[in-house]
Structures are given as structure tokens and as C-alpha cells.
A and B are shown apart, each in its own frame.
Chain A
């Protein structure tokens, strides 16, 4: 199963953290720090795999760099490394389509939506969708539902909204 999906930038700042087995906050921080330390010491154009013992001896880590971001997936022996690389491609493609030319800022400012997208692809550590068009369909549906406040209708209350 997939144990975690993490996105951090090249400064080590986390942009997306999703653990599929519960980890206390301190442990999460430690894991991310360790991963960042390993990743930033790796040269460019090397393989995308890192032997990882974060969750025990059989876990593996695959990462991919896109512009300023590291996409990281941690998983165990019931996943295939190359298939996970494909999966990351699907995830990034979907982000790309949802935010048209995704960049780090999109992920920074769309915390909720990025989670929505991820949840359509992986549930409980299991991959439930590999087609990015299906994911986008579901995400669009959800956005429509979100925008239709069937209880209270109000002006959006934000400072920026008033400006």
C-alpha cells in the first residue's frame, strides 16, 4: 500500500502532506526533514528511487522533481516502483489540467483542492483511479457542489472580497 504522499519545495517547505497510516505530528516533521536531507543531497539526473527505512525495512520511496517541487511517494512491497512513477505522472498531469500550467503557487493557494484531487486518486493507501480525465470529472463535480451553497446564501466574506 501507499504509506504517504508528500510534496515539498526545494527549500524543504512542505506543500502537501498526506499519510495513510496515522503518524503523530512530530513524527511527520521528522520524516519530512529526513527525506528532504536525503533528496537535496542527490545530484540531478539520477534515479528516482531512494532506499527508505522510514516505515520499516520494506518501504521504498520514489520521488520526482517538477520545477521547484519534489513529489514523493512512500510505499511498501505491494506496489511496483515504475507503476508508482506512472501514478505520480497522473497526479501531476491532473494538477496541471486543473490549474492550467501548475506551479508551486497554485499548490500553495489551493490546499483544499489539491487534497480533493489526491483523494480521487488514492484512498486508504489504495489507488482508486489512474485516469486523469476521470479525476478531473469528479473534481469538477465537487467544485460545483462546493459553489452551490444550498443552505446559506451570502456575500463572500473576506477582506480581499471587499477590495
Chain B
């Protein structure tokens, strides 16, 4: 065999065909032996493809195309050979070349330009199959260049007498438009003319035309309103289901824009719905009615009837679509869903996952504040019975529905919180993250629910079995946080302390364990506070909290509980008795013995927190145990060192944490001189000389959930022992700063900035600057009470904005914009902005591309404008004109296209209002 050179005669004579290649591949077992065979064949192909003999080349390319398409072998290197073959006079070679091009070319290939001429030649061929090859290839690989250069050729094909070519040219047009919007100006009118194709020969031409309009209208419907009369005619006259479906889709878009149009088409749509045997058409009618014409009761009723037929059908596809139909009806006509409630609920246990999912969505659409409890009960039942995947799907939708709009539909938060607890215990539950988020979120937003929240948290914490399930660790983290933060509502803080310190907590990942330890700290300081300073605790916290948040009492003692509505249930507990000398000593011993081993933990976060807790515990133990004998001298407790510290810590903890808006970060003003857009690529070099510690050892916890007050306490405690190292690190920092000053803030702004940024969730900050950062003002508290409810809905703190991530607005493709601009120009002239009765005039804001177009043509528009005004005034005249325009649209377009195009359209335009009225 002849190495790297061209193929020898022997090679050509004994060339393997595509069939041989396929057989060969099938003989080899998939894996190493097959890929060896393929790479051997590839070597052959590389040789053969260089052959001057087109037959050899063609077969080589066929094989390569096959390998590329089904075995994903790269063939970009053979692009030139493909182009070469397309120019062959032999049909089969040409076809091989085009197939290779359409399956493998992409716009970045440089030989594409070479193809332009060949495409043009083949588009003009007498052989319809050659034209069709070129069209197919163009429809896949079309680039702006191709589209620009070949638009005239495709334009010619649009009037072809062969419908075989015409339909393909029309289908191809869509790609051309999207690549080169200016093609619309040339081809659009011929495309519109094809809407009038009739007869059996032209059925596919009409279908293709309507198909193109359907695509265009989906992207930007408004421009096609003027064509409504044409579409209406097709809707009434056509008997081709395919065409009708597409026209319905167009009307679904147009109907949303123009109510008068809806009135007109809704009857014919109902006729189709009643008469048609084809399920596809019936379903399309249903979909159109319920999504766009839902204001027409009779149509919706009919549609719901049809949906019911679908739901009752034995065909699963129809049942699935029926459920989808119901889902579309739901937002405007919930009765339709309620009417079919049984079927929907039954479908939750269908064998088909799709159907189950649709049913679930429907069930969720039925949820309101009246029935949420009932529906959730049913769903939890289904979740327990379902397979893990669907079970989680159920839980996910329950969670997202219930939390929608800041828990809009939840009235009884006690119930909801216990539902969350229940979810955590479902064996397959994998929604830990969301439940974690909601438990904490509700805790921060709804004050009245905190006692119940703490109860739910306690139930989760004390169950050692739960610690073994990694999926709910996140939930436990939330439970621990809640129990620590709202420990004052706990029936028995000691029990929680034991739960937080139970041995099985070593199963938790470090990030969550540190939350546990931090909660231990809170519980401990609470216990100490209640024990050492019972009276002061009440008074000081009462006054302080009243300052911040009127109406909320930070209650710690029995006295307070009786005053608080929700806390009354806890009044039976005598807190004063709980915190005895003995119990406190026990707690301290427990804390010290369980946490001491952790001071050696490898995790920085754990180690630091443990040391914080131990610091407090050891100090307290020393002092309290030394006073053990003098039980009578309780008054002295106030003077203890521990008391001072505990008082300080408690003050820090008693600040209420509020929710943070998602856009809080954005609202922080950018300090002067800080360039955010800078290229940071040279950071790599800097990072290289900084040994980053392993990421894991630092906090993995969402900063939201880490109380800011934690920082203040740890600062207090660390200050002393960290002074030495602080000096060291300052010098290091200074050095780093000197070397990479570019990436630091200027030092003066830095200071100013850090002091002017208040903690985002600090409710005390009422200054003007911060006002919009967190607005926990009276107005923002939404009181949504139902008058007849026995128990009012608790206050849910809502932020003015930014409770949820902003919904990204669907961006229209720039090309779509250009297309619709061009379409409007062709259909309406460029009067769009000048008149008031045409709906297209309303479209503003998106008009930058259109403006460009308009400016270029304003010179010719004055004539038309005056003409149009007369239409606006005189209705009768308009009627006449529309008659005329219909006649005109028949024959004269072609000859006058370029010269008088605009005037023609201007006359045609008033047809719309006429039709709509």
C-alpha cells in the first residue's frame, strides 16, 4: 500500500464500499477492536479521498460521512473534498457531497465560500432533484453570507411551476430570513401570495407557507396581524389538518394581541372542534381556545368537554395531552380542573411517569389557602407510596407551591412548620436544602410561629436515627440553628443541649456540625443568663426589644409567657425552677466533656466554635462551682465575671435576624475608584504565590444562615489570643498589598466603605441610606387576614422587593427584531408609527432596528401617510378600498414589485381594521 501518497490503482480497484465498512464494523466487538478497525478504515479513507477518480473519492466520502454521523468521527478536514464533489456532473457524486456538507459543515468552516457558486448553479438547475439537494443543504448550513448571496435565486424558485421545488424553497426561506433579515424585503410578498395556493397539487406549498408564518409569528406575532384575513380564509376553507393546526397556532398568537380578531375566529375554531375526527386538530383547537380565547365561555366549555373525552380515553397519549390541556385551562377557569378532580387525583398513581407529573402539576394548580392543608395531606400520602423519584417530585412541588409569594397561601404556619418536619421524616426525602431554607426563612419572617418551630426542631434533633441519613443533614442543620436562635421558646433547653451534643453528631459533615456547636453556644448562654440574671434578663431584653420592634416581646420568664398569646401553652412550665444550680452545673459538665475532644478537630470552623463554647463554659464552671456551697448568696451572681460576659453575649443574641433581599448586594454603592470590569486574569499569578488552604476547612454554610451576632462574640473572645498573630498577619497583608496594589481598594475609601455598609439584616438601622436596603417598615408587613377565620394569619415579614430572584425577561433575538421590522415595512409600508388605529403602531421600545430601516425610507412615506389618514376617517371609503386591494393583490404585484411595492401595500393595509370590525 502506498503510504501517504495518493491511492494506487490497486487501492481504487479494491476499495471497500460503505457496505463493506458497515459489515466490518459489525464484525468487530464494540470497544478496542472496533475502534482499531475504524481508525484503520479512516487511514484508508484519507488515502482514497485524495484520488483524482471521483468515484473513489465519492465512496471514501460516503464512508467518512457515515463514520461522522453515527460514530462521531471528525471530518472537518474533508470539507474541501465534499465541496469538490458537489460540483461533479454525476448526480450520485453531487448527492454524496451535499449530504456530507449538510451533516458536517458548520459556519466556521473556511471552505464554505467555495460552495456559494455551486449552490447558485444547482438552485438554477433544470433537474428538480439537484435543486432540492442544494435547498436541503442550504437550509442546514445557511450563513448570513449564503443568505445574502442566494436570496435572488431562492426568490426565483418561489414562483417555480413545480410545487416540488416551491414547497422546499419556502421551507428553506425560514433559515434564510433568520440569517439575513433583509431577504424579507425581497421575498415576503411572494411568500404571502403563496397563502392563496389551492388545489391538491399545491397542498404542500400551502402547508409549507403556513408553516413558515407559524414560525415567524411565534417569535414576534404583531407584525403578522395584517395578514389575519388570509389566515382566516384558510381557517374556514382548508380541510388539511396540518395546515389548520399551523393556522390555529398563528391565531393563538394573534388573538392575544387583538381582541376583535378573537371574536371572529372563535366560532370557526369551535366548528372544527366539533366536527373534526382528527385528534391532533381537536387538541390544537382546545389548546388555542384555552390559552388564547379563554374569555369565551361557550368555547371554553366545549374545549373542557373535549378535554374530558381525552381524559377518559384509553390511549395514554390522549390522557397525557388531556391533562396538559387542563393545565392550560387552570389559570383562568379553575372550575374545569375541579370538575375533573377525581381523574386528576387518580392519575397521580398512573403507571406513566409523564401522566403522574402532569397530574401533580394540576393538583398544585388547584391549591389555595382554603384547601392547602387537605391537598398536602393527600399528597404526603401519595409521596409515601410512590417511588423515590416521584416522591421527591411531589415534595418539591409542595415546597415550591407553599412558599410561593412569601408563603402567600399559608395561613396556619404552625401546621406548615410541622408539615416540613413531617417531610423530613419521609424515607426518600432528598429536598433537604429547600426544607432547610424554608425552616430558617419562616423563623426569620414569622415571629408567631417560633415556638412551634422550636418544637419541630427539637423533635428532629432528639431523634438519633435521623443523623444517619445524609439527605436530611441540611434539615438538621436548620433545626439546630432554629433551636439555638429561638431557644427562649423551648420547653426544655437542657434537652436540646443534650440533643445537640449527642455522640452521633459525629456523623454530620463539619459545616453542619459547626452549626450545632454554635447553637450549643447560644443555648448555653441562654441557660446561664436565665440562671444568673433572671430578673435583669426580663427587664433589659424587654425594654431593648420594645425599642426595636414594637409588638414583639422577647420573653424569657414565666411572667412574659403569660402575657404572650402564643406562649401561654408553655406557662405550665416553671422556668424559674428549671435553672437550678445543679442543673446548670450538669449542663456545664456535659458541654465540657463532649466538646473538649473537638478542640483538636481538623476543621477550623469546628475548632474555633468549640473553643468559644469551652471558653464560656469553663469560666462559668469555675465561678459557679466555687459558689456551690453558698446557695443562699444568689444575689452575688450578678457580680460574677460570667454574668457580665453573659449579659453582653445575650444582648448581642437578642437582636432579631431578618430576611435579606436577594438584591441587597447590588444595592451596595460601588465605592469611588473601584473598577469592577477589570480583567482579573493576572490574578492567577498572584494566587500562585498564595498558598490557599483547603477550601473545606472554612465555612461551607450559607452566610445567610450564619447569624451576624456570632461574629461579634467570637471577636470578643478571640481578641486577646489573636493579638500576636494579628500583628504578623497585618505585616503580611501590607506586603501583599504593596505587591498587588491594583487589586486592593484605595486605603481611605476602604475604611470609609467598610464603616458605611451596615449589616444587611440589622433591623435597627433606620437611616436614610439603609432605608431601601432593608425595609422592615410597617407598610411592608403584609397583613392578609380572612375575616371569618378563627385564628388570624400571623404577620409574615415581606421585603418591598427582592424576596425572589428577578425573573429574567425573555430576550427577543435581534434577528427576530430585524425580521419583524422588515415584515412590517413590507406589509404596512413604514407607517407603523404614524397611525393610531393599527395595533402595530403600539409597539414601541423594540424599535431601534426598525427605526434604522424607517429613517432610510422616510423620504417616500409622506404620500402614503396622507392616504392613510383618509382611511382612518372614513369607514365606507375604507370598505371600497379594501375591495380594490383584494382585486389588486391578484395579478399586478409581480410586475410592480420593486417600483410600486410600498403603495400596493399601503392600499392593502386597511383590510385589517375592516376585517376586524
Contact = CB atoms under 8 A, between A and B. Distances in A.
A128 B20 contact: no
B88 to A, nearest CB: 7
Given A77-B218, A128-B204, A151-B89, A82 B321 contact: yes
B164 interface: yes
Interface in B35-54: 53-54
Given A22-B107, A82-B280, A129 B91 contact: no
Contacts of A134: 204
B62 interface: yes
22 contacts: A24-B106, A43-B352, A47-B355, A51-B354, A80-B245, A80-B283, A82-B317, A83-B241, A109-B22, A123-B135, A123-B172, A125-B139, A142-B129, A145-B91, A145-B92, A150-B90, A152-B53, A157-B55, A157-B56, A157-B59, A158-B17, A161-B17
B66 interface: yes
B234 to A, nearest CB: 16
Interface string B167-191: 1101110110000000000000000
A35 to B, nearest CB: 15
Contacts of A67: none
B14 A128 contact: no
Interface in A112-133: 112, 115-116, 119, 123-130
Contacts of B428: none
Interface stretch (B69-77, B438-446, B451-459, B493-501): B69-77
Nearest to B164: A138
A123 B174 CA distance: 10
Contact of A149 (B72, B90, B132, B353): B90
Contact of A123 (B74, B136, B141): B136
Contacts of B54: 151-152
Contacts of A115: 99
Contact of B211 (A16, A47, A127): A127
Interface in B710-760: none
A17 interface: yes
B222 interface: no
B72, B74, B107 — most chain A CB neighbours (10 Å): B72
Contacts of A78: 211, 214-215, 218, 246, 249
B570 interface: no
B12 interface: yes
A28 B208 contact: no
Interface of B: 12-20, 22, 26, 53-56, 59, 62, 65-66, 68-70, 72, 74, 88-93, 95-96, 99, 103, 106-107, 127, 129, 132, 135-136, 139-141, 164, 167-168, 170-172, 174-175, 204, 207-208, 211-212, 214-215, 218, 241-242, 245-246, 249, 278-280, 283-284, 316-317, 319-321, 351-355, 357
Contacts, number: 187
B276 to A, nearest CB: 12
A154 B207 CA distance: 43
A28, A128, A156, A158 — most chain B CB neighbours (10 Å): A128
Contacts of A51: 354, 357
Contacts of A119: 132, 136
Contacts of B69: 17, 111
Contact of B279 (A82, A123, A152, A160): A82
Contact of A126 (B88, B141, B211, B353): B211
Contact of B74 (A25, A86, A138, A151): A25
A148 interface: yes
Given A49-B320, A126-B211, A158 B15 contact: yes
B167 A85 contact: no
B748 to A, nearest CB: 49
B317 A47 contact: yes
A47 to B, nearest CB: 4
A95 B664 CA distance: 60
B22 A108 contact: yes
Nearest to B108: A22
A126 B321 contact: no
Contacts of A68: none
Contacts of B316: 45-47
B787 to A, nearest CB: 41
Nearest to B280: A82
Contacts of B204: 128-130, 134
Contacts of B214: 78
Contacts of B215: 1, 78, 126
Interface of A, secondary structure class, is mixed
A24, A83, A119, A123 — most chain B CB neighbours (10 Å): A123
B99 A123 contact: no
A134 B13 CA distance: 38
Nearest to A86: B280
A65 to B, nearest CB: 13
Q: Which 10 A-B pairs have the closest CB atoms?
A: A124-B139, A82-B280, A126-B171, A46-B352, A47-B316, A158-B17, A145-B91, A146-B92, A83-B280, A47-B320
A48 interface: yes
A152 B51 CA distance: 15
Nearest to A28: B72
Interface residues of A, number: 63
A14 B70 contact: yes
A17 B70 contact: yes
Contacts of B96: 112
Contacts of A26: 72
Contacts of B95: 112, 116, 142, 146
A22 B16 CA distance: 30
A81 interface: yes
Contacts of B136: 119, 123-124
B17 to A, nearest CB: 4
A160 B746 CA distance: 79
Given A17-B69, A150-B89, A157-B55, A123 B14 contact: no
Interface string A86-98: 1000000000000
A111 B321 contact: no
A148 B107 CA distance: 33
A116 B94 CA distance: 13
B172 A124 contact: yes
Contacts of B355: 46-47
Contacts of A1: 174, 215
Contacts of B127: 145
A34 B889 CA distance: 50
A123 B139 contact: yes
A158 B16 contact: yes
A97 B731 CA distance: 84
A26 to B, nearest CB: 8
Contacts of B352: 43, 46-47
B317 to A, nearest CB: 5
Contacts of B92: 145-146, 149
A152 B55 contact: yes
A130 B435 CA distance: 51
Nearest to A42: B353
A50 interface: yes
A29 interface: yes
A15 interface: yes
A123 B157 CA distance: 15
B528 to A, nearest CB: 54
Contacts of B135: 123
A46 B19 contact: no
Contacts of B208: 126-128
Given A47-B319, A49-B354, A78-B214, A124 B129 contact: no
A20, A24, A29, A115 — most chain B CB neighbours (10 Å): A115
A128 B167 contact: yes
A112 B66 CA distance: 9
A108 B27 CA distance: 13
A158 B20 contact: yes
B157 to A, nearest CB: 13
